[in-house]
Chain A
Amino acid sequence: MTREYTTTRDIVGPLLLVERVVDVTYGELVELEYPGGVRSLGNVLEVNGDVALVQAFAGTSGANPSETKVRFLGRALEIGVSRDMLGRVFDGLGRPRDGGPEIIPDERRTIYGEPINPTARDFPDDFIQTGVSAIDGLNPLVRGQKLPIFSGAGLPHNELAAQVARQAAVLARSAQADAVGEKLEGEFAVVFAAMGITFADADFFMTEFRNTAAIERAVLFLNLADDPAVERIATPRVALTAAEYLAYTCDMHVLVVLTDMTYYCEALREVSAARKEVPGRRGYPGYLYTDLATIYERAGRIKGAKGSITQVPILTMPDDDKTHPIPDLTGYITEGQIILDRSLNRSGVYPPIAVLPSLSRLKQKGIGAGKTREDHADLSNQLFGAYARGVQAKELAVILGEAALSDSDKAFVAFADAFEARFIQQGQHEDRSIERTLEIGWELMALLPRSELKRIKDAYVEKYLPREGDA
């Protein structure tokens, strides 16, 4: 049932207040036609008696109160989903952008999804080998996890995200899988959602995907910097609706890259400000946490389902400030964070992952015997501890001079340098196996006095620590 009105009263920012409407519901999809034929989609943010508040995805430039046509479509914002989405490029609302035909949908789904029942979730515990030592060795990603990259302007987060998307593989290492020769690796797909990034950044990803033929198993949703800002509010949801279809209907393991969440939040703030809502911190709406959660929590695994959704959202921290509301609230929802560091980047380390503040909350379940290797957890704890101490000793050396350090501190300084140069540092196209990552870790352990290896079980030290002369 379509109802068309020309009774717009107010236009404020991206919002229109439409009067004397009947049977309008909350969340309903709206089609707007401005004088001159410009069209935009929108949705109902609030309905009060016969007055509806509509947000226009394409903005309100060109709209006027008397001639703007507002059509209520009687349904929520939906996209058509199908396997044929793979290899295609869409705009931020799911319309083809690559000049190709409309896809023939298998079914239509509203973009808001439904929360996964916590009892239906399966705990993410399959290690994903990204081939990046600083991630695999210390902050491993597991299938069904949401692990954001906290970055800053000018840092190579796109390179890292592309590398992860290219190299990610799930290891079929469980004893059970080995026994029956079963491969855990299902079909793998990448869903890429761009919100407000530049064409150059989007083109980098498309080229990367094309060069490695990854484009065949990728779906791209692009809302670029010059596309309507409010549309960005729908983009991650459109992408996740596609991802859910691929994961739970087509049994694929989907890696969702969302970039840049900062622009998403700014679009949300723009709408909130136009509604004159009481702002929370830094002008962001008080419901930012809930809103972000409805995006991030769509990652996961479901019992009995073969597919899964793993999310790697990227956000640039304004002024590298981790306490800014966007990274802060994201960190509270996601299962850890990979933080990129400017000083590492300046000293030429790629990927410039600040391992100390980075964290993967699910790593305990994803590593160890049967997943990666028995010594993985202890070794990574020790690497963390030793690197932290090395960094501290270095700070001390800056004040007092190298000579003032004790012998053991000197060993830790040497360790920290070697750790950055050999463990963190690697090539953009270097795909390190987890064995190689752990091996490098043990080689570094050899730089420390044996008595300092307190966090590793003796048996592992015996078994894995390279003996003198070995190397």
Chain B
Amino acid sequence: MERGTILKVAGPLVVAVGLERAKMYDLVRVGEQGLMGEIIEMRGDRASIQVYEETEGLGPGMPVESTGAPLSVELGPGMLGAVYDGVQRPLDELERRAGAFLSRGISAPGLDRDKRWEFVPAVAVGARVSGGDIIGTVQENEVIEHRILVPPALAGEIVEFSAGAHTVTDTVAKLRDADGAVHDLTMMQVWPVRMPRPYARKVASGEPLVTGTRVIDTFFPLVKGGVACIPGPFGAGKTVTQHQVAKWSNAQVVIFIGCGERGNEMTDVLMEFPELTDPYSGQPLMKRTVLVANTSNMPVAAREASVYTGITMAEYFRDMGYEVVLQADSTSRWAEAMREISGRLEEMPGDEGFPAYLGTKLAAFYERAGAVECLGSVSVIGSVSPPGGDLSEPVVQNTLRVVKVFWALQDTLAYERHFPAIDWLTSYSLYLERLRPHWDAEVSERYRARRDECMAILQRESNLAEIVRLVGLEALSPEEQILMETAKSIREDFLQQNAFRDDDQFTSLAKQDRLLEMILLFHTTAIEAHRQGAPLRGIFSAPVREKIARAKYGTGDETDIFDEIASDIETQLVGEGGVNA
């Protein structure tokens, strides 16, 4: 433990002297209270430290102590259901120790040191294992079996097991490596957050990450292990969309990083998730969730660290073979934290004052997503909060270079209360082709074609809307008028989805397909009916349209309703209710 002294204090940045042997990104303790900090620059004998707590009251001459190790997280049983701050301090424990307000200098380990977990060996003594192999399991809760892994970089022969109830720091196995050295293995691993956890090989997954949100699943889908970006001006519904994905996606573990966002949003998650039932396991959602909460009023340096803390946890669950969704809300606040620290270091700024390495850091973060061999995956959904809704700003632009799915939220849609306010014309997904085999086999062979047809209709609508705006709807041909009505139906009866209605918040892929089928069936039948002489007014006022509009509501697949609608369309447009009446 090397000791130095403070020379300079400027906001979250402290400069210390006397830490010659410390290394870049070493964790240090600052001042009498031992505030956590991290070395981010070294010049001669001067080390610049970003401090994860408020620095008020610090002054020159106060002590700084290096721990000699980089900022790390503790990985092991006990993470699920926990709420951590940006440097993995458990917030509920801090509340027990210090009350409702976060005072400085309090700390608590990320994993409970006293709690005992039932360790069950998964291999026999004598087994030859290497980094990432599962040596045992702990049933962490009703949903997740926690798999105990050999730490990366270790390999050898298991020489002893100690099954039964243990704390995370107890030795549960001994491993002898090739040199004959014996290593004690515990259920807890400590991993530096800024270093990606190693994997054997990345694979390109073709499995959809189903969210139950129609505009996402059908129009702009994400694969497991994929990366997506939701930019949006405030009030466009970014957070609600992220919550929907966290609640309904078919991943096994959800890591939610509240990075520089509102305190009440974290509270919302904290109060709601234990009440909500995971549609896949029937257990409370909180049991598959880890929250990393560094709200906007918590220290800015810890905000910078929070996304690394979160993704390291995600990688750890991935290594166990789980499918993980990581949501970072918002990466813009993370970038701003970088900018603030960079400014204090007096670095030469790039675009809009952001540091020149912004793009590199963003790309490196998103690249930690992916599906890997041994079947786990980390999907990353980062939200971006562009100032003034301006998508040309540096954080959005640097993000778009690396992500494959773009859900463009539009405030104009939000004003019309079209939710989710994802703009169907500017959003994109580059995973459609990869998903095709899965869709064909699991949903229906027409699903993709229907999706494309609807997109084409929406595209035509936006072109025609220009004409309508100038010369009125009557200037369009009857077929174009039908198309306009169909596009409206796609928007209102399919794309619009109420996240707060129990019977609308989740739609299965099968049902999404049927909804499109009905809308398109009405479209083609309407054109046919008109050709046979049915008046447009009659077609548009067919009672079945209300049935189509309400078909999205319901919690199951409602196959009978769709059959009914299909036959109604037939009777009301071309049957006795329509042309042949």
Contacts and interface: CB of A to CB of B under 8 A. Distances in A.
Contacts of A364: 500
Contacts of A468: none
Contacts of A389: 416
A286 B94 contact: no
Interface residues on A, range: 35 or more
A454 interface: yes
Contacts of B415: 356-357, 388
Interface in B247-292: 258, 260, 262-264, 266-268, 270-271
A49 B333 contact: no
B353 A333 contact: no
A294 B411 contact: no
B339 A119 contact: no
B547 to A, nearest CB: 12
Nearest to B343: A278
B296 A293 contact: yes
B362 interface: no
Contacts of A325: 387-388
Contacts of A46: 8-11
A238 interface: no
Interface stretch (B141-149, B190-198, B467-475): B467-475
Contacts of A323: 387-390
A406 interface: yes
Interface string A114-155: 111111111110000000000000000000110000000000
Contacts of A117: 91, 94-95, 98-102
Interface stretch (B53-61, B128-136, B172-180, B427-435): B53-61
A337 B59 contact: no
Contacts of B512: none
B285 to A, nearest CB: 16
B492 A381 contact: no
Contacts of A385: 416-417
A144 B268 CA distance: 13
A112 B549 CA distance: 53
A337 B414 CA distance: 13
Q: Which of B263, B339, B549 has the most CB of A within 10 A?
A: B263
A47 interface: yes
Contacts of B65: none
A329 interface: yes
B80 to A, nearest CB: 16
Contacts of A279: 353
Nearest to A46: B10
A116 B498 CA distance: 31
Contacts of A144: 264
A48 B8 contact: yes
Given A49-B7, A302-B100, A27 B57 contact: yes
Q: Which of A117, A121, A248 has the most CB of B within 10 A?
A: A117
Interface stretch (A18-26, A32-40, A100-108, A182-190): A18-26
A200 interface: no
A328 interface: yes
A118 B267 contact: yes
Contacts of B388: 322-325, 328
Contact of B296 (A114, A333, A337, A357): A333
Interface string A257-289: 000000000000000000001111100001101
Contacts of A281: 352, 387
Contact of B8 (A49, A332, A381): A49
B297 A115 contact: yes
A50 to B, nearest CB: 7
Nearest to A454: B549
A303 B100 CA distance: 8
A41 B107 CA distance: 34
A431 B245 CA distance: 41
Q: Which of A50, A121, A248, A322 has the most CB of B within 10 A?
A: A121
A335 B297 contact: no
A27 B61 CA distance: 16
Contacts of B271: 123
A328 B270 CA distance: 27
Contacts of B331: none
A25 B353 contact: no
A170 interface: no
Contacts of B411: 357
Q: Which of B266, B339, B417 has the most CB of A within 10 A?
A: B417
B9 A362 contact: no
B472 A286 contact: no
Interface string B83-107: 1000000011011001111110000
B214 to A, nearest CB: 16
B575 interface: no
A298 interface: yes
Given A23-B59, A329-B387, 10 more contacts: A49-B7, A49-B8, A113-B101, A278-B349, A286-B353, A287-B336, A290-B297, A331-B235, A357-B235, A454-B492
17 contacts: A26-B57, A27-B56, A48-B7, A48-B15, A112-B56, A114-B103, A115-B102, A116-B263, A123-B271, A145-B264, A278-B353, A287-B336, A331-B234, A357-B411, A385-B417, A389-B416, A404-B474
Interface of B: 7-11, 15, 54-61, 83, 91-92, 94-95, 98-103, 233-235, 239, 258, 260, 262-264, 266-268, 270-271, 293, 295-298, 300, 333, 336-337, 339-340, 343, 349, 352-353, 385, 387-390, 411, 414-417, 469-474, 492, 498, 500, 546, 549-550
Which 10 pairs between the two chains have the least Cβ-Cβ distance? A323-B388, A293-B296, A25-B59, A27-B56, A297-B297, A120-B100, A331-B234, A114-B101, A26-B9, A48-B8
